[in-house]
């Protein structure tokens, strides 16, 4: 498994990380704790040592499951934990809150749920436009000085917001949505990260399952599944995206003998100082992990991919639908 440092922190981790939003169950139709624990163990056994979670994933459920899994059989010593802060919830509704008092409460709750005394990467989940960024940065710098966190990151921040943060505290990582189908960060965040030495944790690397190759035209999304509100999964766009995935799968099989899922992960890793966060809920969903190393997507293949997307998707849409409200209730 390829390795990467998280910024200048000295924390080393795998370039594939396990994303655990779905394991939390919220907006993914519930969770199975025993299967989730088996998935975390399977990921680490395969060399995927970074586990990315957040308090809001199931309102504590994901962190709790990650903590239980890593407390077993010495798994904590083999893993790096990335979690987040800055999102609060009330009556099942999520809102941004990065006020210092909230952050100081969240770190203690996360440490308790994760059953650890230090978090390897601590990230602000979304920028809070009602809390000064310098105050937020100062709290994380204090937490690092206290030995409660090893490195500092932000998620969904713009370069201007990261500049404001970095004026107060060192920043090691940024976590934006990034995959073959959602590439907005190539205009700003990706070059900014390369210029400033930040490691990019790309969330949604398989685009809510679209790039897994398993979703078909008749796949149904029920309950609180967030894909019911994702514009990519609504007609007529859904058919366009499925056409693109089918062509990408054919290209991957022809050129490399791989699936579209392997291509999606490899492509993210070939874009710069990146980590691909791979959401999985069952151990078997990680079976293609062994197909990622040992090859690259060269410039010619990238051009073919771009041509497929331009031909199949006349009206691409961003992942902006996932953003929580800007104002606190």
> Catalytic site residues?
57
Q: Is the separation of the CB atoms in 89 and 58 below 8 Å?
A: no
Of 192, 124, 190, the C-alpha closest to 154 is: 124
Beta bridge pairs of residue 50: 17, 80
- Say how far apart CA 71 and CA 117 lie, in whole Å: 12
Q: Is the separation of the CB atoms in 174 and 143 below 8 Å?
A: no
- Say how far apart CA 87 and CA 29 lie, in whole Å: 21
Cα 243 to its chain centre, rounded Å, is: 25
DSSP code at position 293: T
Q: Is the separation of the CB atoms in 95 and 87 below 8 Å?
A: yes
């Amino acid at each position: 498994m390829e390795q990467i440092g998280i910024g200048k922190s000295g924390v080393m981790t795998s370039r594939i990380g396990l994303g655990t939003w779905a394991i939390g169950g919220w907006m993914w139709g519930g969770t199975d704790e025993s299967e989730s624990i088996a998935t975390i163990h399977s990921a680490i056994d395969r060399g995927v040592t970074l586990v990315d979670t957040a308090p809001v994933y199931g309102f504590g459920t994901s962190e709790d499951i990650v903590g239980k899994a890593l407390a077993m059989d010495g798994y904590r010593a083999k893993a790096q934990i990335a979690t987040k802060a800055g999102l609060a919830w009330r009556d099942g509704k999520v809102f941004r809150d990065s006020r210092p008092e909230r952050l100081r409460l969240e770190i203690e709750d996360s440490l308790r749920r994760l059953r650890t005394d230090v978090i390897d990467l601590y990230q602000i989940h979304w920028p809070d436009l009602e809390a000064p960024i310098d105050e937020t940065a100062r709290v994380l710098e204090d937490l690092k000085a206290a030995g409660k966190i090893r490195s500092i990151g932000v998620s969904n921040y713009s370069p201007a917001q990261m500049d404001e943060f970095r004026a107060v505290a060192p920043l090691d990582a940024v976590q934006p949505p990034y995959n073959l189908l959602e590439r907005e960060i190539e205009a700003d965040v990706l070059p900014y990260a390369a210029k400033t030495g930040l490691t990019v944790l790309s969330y949604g690397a398989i685009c809510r399952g679209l790039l897994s190759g398993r979703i078909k035209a008749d796949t149904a999304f029920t309950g609180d599944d967030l894909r019911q509100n994702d514009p990519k999964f609504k007609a007529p766009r859904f058919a366009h995206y499925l056409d693109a995935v089918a062509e990408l799968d054919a290209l991957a099989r022809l050129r490399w003998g791989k699936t579209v899922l392997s291509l999606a992960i490899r492509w993210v890793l070939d874009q710069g100082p990146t980590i691909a966060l791979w959401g999985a809920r069952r151990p078997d969903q990680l079976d293609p992990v062994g197909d990622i190393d040992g090859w690259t997507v060269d410039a010619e293949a990238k051009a073919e991919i771009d041509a497929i997307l331009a031909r199949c998707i006349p009206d691409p849409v961003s992942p902006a639908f996932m953003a929580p409200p800007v104002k606190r209730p």
